[in-house]
A and B are shown apart, each in its own frame.
Chain A
């Protein structure tokens, strides 16, 4: 079995930051493995450990910088990686779902995995849509927001986390794309051995031409035209001073509301 895991390097923003145009100014930005994808990688590696002859391949759309993040996934046990990038992507502040779908679809068609896993959403743009879009593009079945997975032959028994503490149980025919929710497993930390081994694992760089695509395939259908810090509608009363004074102030308010009264 081959499992392809779509892994994104996401932008995380410091608590205090400034904007620069339609993005966050570079000095306030860090790059991380997307939290949801960390769970997807773990799920794939667990399938690999449980089964015979399961290959785990990651695919990332991102510039060379992203290789550091990709190595994290390799250190956790993925066998090899594919990194898609092209100069045509460099100038786009926000890649749209369609562009990502076309690139990932080309990789799926080349790799022919039995199962594709991705995080439910990315922590930065939070579209939450690429996995399902990809499934439709490549003719795979799919399930979104999966927090439980068991593979049985060519069927995946999944739990989908609906709203309000309700879970849907579904059977999904493979090949399929599943978007993985946090909490499905406990992502491991990479071992020193894993980190060392990751250094020698392959990260295959693929351009649009390598994937048989042209620049038109990734032309954005959307424009990010403005970015701003949301206006606070807060009318919060703050308790000032040291921790003891703050606690005393809050305690007064809580007592007024009858909290702690026997």
Chain B
């Protein structure tokens, strides 16, 4: 095992994703702890352009694997495993994204590495000490693993790497076994449904699991009308089919930055918060005083939405 760290960049449909730069920051800090180099893998797509773009402060070596346009987990798994065998790093670090979770567990299994996913903090000494959440963000835990290890990092926890790097950029010579590629990406689609664009709204009245039943949504639409606001929601409402997918705020839905975001009956799971934390003013109404949404709210009401929302509607009516 070397003292090095291997991080993997992520891109989609021609663009690098933010988490690539965040992964560099996280991996650089780990490499400083182990006293090794930071290697970055750039796989598929326009690897040369991506490599140039990611030649940032703190990166020592960039390895490109020019194979196909879009992410394919079989290609990634093979390329990352081969790079790992060549570099023999102490830590393999990948994004905890939908695609990250589509290859990192396979690589960890293939190489016999312990894997800790969705890390929010990393420290390295004799072992790798990770911080991660459990029980829907109610508990934070410390999980330690021996090196070498693999981790995936949560998005937006580390600042993006910046500056100008002087990394070596070289194609990595790996023979991708085409017979092991047994899935094919055939296309992409934007989640549709309806003609409302919640990302354009100045005021969003957003509803979550606390609404209980579909019939109760009227309460929220009444409030939205009184406030001249747009209705959005957290994931469970869309999963239940009560609102179309284009109303969903969060990691898998839309990112919104309204002037006022009124979160009603939304607990504030990390996937939801990722989509609305940039709002200017956040108001939360929830029965649970410990709900994580209050951690980011500017204004809060601990109370029953079925009592508070009609009163609030009344305030703005007539």
Contact = CB atoms under 8 A, between A and B. Distances in A.
B134 A260 contact: no
B63 interface: no
Interface in B213-228: 226-228
B1 interface: no
Interface string A1-36: 000000000011101110100101000000000000
- If over half of B's interface residues share one DSSP class (helix, strand or loop), that class is named, otherwise mixed; here it is mixed
Contacts of B102: 132, 142-145, 160
Given A168-B188, A237-B298, A237-B300, A19 B139 contact: yes
- If over half of A's interface residues share one DSSP class (helix, strand or loop), that class is named, otherwise mixed; here it is mixed
11 contacts: A132-B101, A167-B188, A169-B187, A170-B183, A226-B141, A227-B134, A230-B137, A232-B294, A236-B298, A244-B311, A257-B281
Interface stretch (B30-38, B142-150, B168-176): B142-150
A163 interface: yes
Given A233-B295, A234-B296, A248-B315, A129 B117 contact: yes
B255 A246 contact: no
B115 A97 contact: yes
A132 B253 CA distance: 23
Interface stretch (B45-53, B84-92, B240-248): B240-248
Interface in A187-232: 221-230, 232
Contacts of A221: 114, 145-146
Contacts of B253: 164-165
A128 interface: yes
Interface in A61-92: none
Contact of B226 (A128, A183, A260): A260
Contact of A96 (B114, B226, B236, B251): B114
Given A125-B134, A251-B312, 17 more contacts: A19-B139, A94-B143, A97-B108, A126-B118, A126-B133, A129-B117, A136-B110, A141-B74, A145-B98, A166-B188, A167-B190, A169-B188, A176-B183, A226-B142, A243-B304, A247-B315, A253-B299
Contact of A133 (B74, B109, B135, B226): B109
Interface residues of B, number: 96
Nearest to A141: B182
Contacts of A162: 12, 98-99, 188, 252
Contact of B252 (A128, A143, A161, A262): A161
Contacts of B241: 186
B183 A250 contact: no
B141 A101 contact: no
Size band of the interface chain A makes with B: 35 or more
B140 A227 contact: yes
Interface of A: 11-13, 15-17, 19, 22, 24, 94, 96-98, 101, 123-133, 135-137, 141-145, 159-173, 176, 182-183, 186, 221-230, 232-239, 243-244, 246-248, 250-251, 253-254, 257-260, 262
Nearest to A222: B145
Contacts of B101: 128-129, 132, 144-145
A133 B183 contact: no
B303 interface: yes
Contacts of B104: 129, 132
Contacts of A126: 117-118, 132-134, 136
B9 to A, nearest CB: 15
Nearest to B228: A260
B230 to A, nearest CB: 12
A173 B191 CA distance: 25
Contacts of B115: 96-98, 127, 129, 133
B66 interface: no
Nearest to A94: B143
B197 to A, nearest CB: 11
